[in-house]
Chain A
Amino acid sequence: MPMLANDIEALIRETFPDAKITINDLAGDGNHFSAEVVEESFRNLNRVQQQRAVYASLKGKMDGAHGELHALQLTTKAPD
Chain B
Amino acid sequence: MMVNVTSSGTQRPLRRNSQTDEIPTMSAEEQIKDTVTTNDVVLFMKGTKAMPQCGFSNHVVGVLTTIGVEFQDVDVLADPEIRQGIKNYSDWPTIPQLYVKGEFVGGCDIISEMTMSGELDALLDKSGVSYSKEAAKKIRDANG
| A interface list, Cβ under 8 A from B | 47-48, 51-52, 55, 62-64, 67, 71-75
Contact = CB atoms under 8 A, between A and B. Distances in A.
B92 A52 contact: yes
B94 A62 contact: yes
B106 interface: yes
Interface of chain A: mostly helix, strand, loop or mixed: mixed
B113 A52 contact: no
Given A48-B105, A73-B109, 13 more contacts: A47-B114, A48-B104, A48-B110, A51-B106, A51-B109, A51-B110, A55-B92, A55-B93, A62-B93, A62-B94, A67-B93, A73-B108, A75-B109
B134 interface: no
11 contacts: A47-B106, A47-B113, A48-B104, A48-B105, A48-B106, A51-B107, A63-B93, A64-B84, A71-B56, A74-B109, A75-B113
B91 interface: yes
Contacts of B109: 51, 73-75
A42 B109 CA distance: 17
B55 to A, nearest CB: 8
Interface string B90-125: 011110000000001111111001100000000000
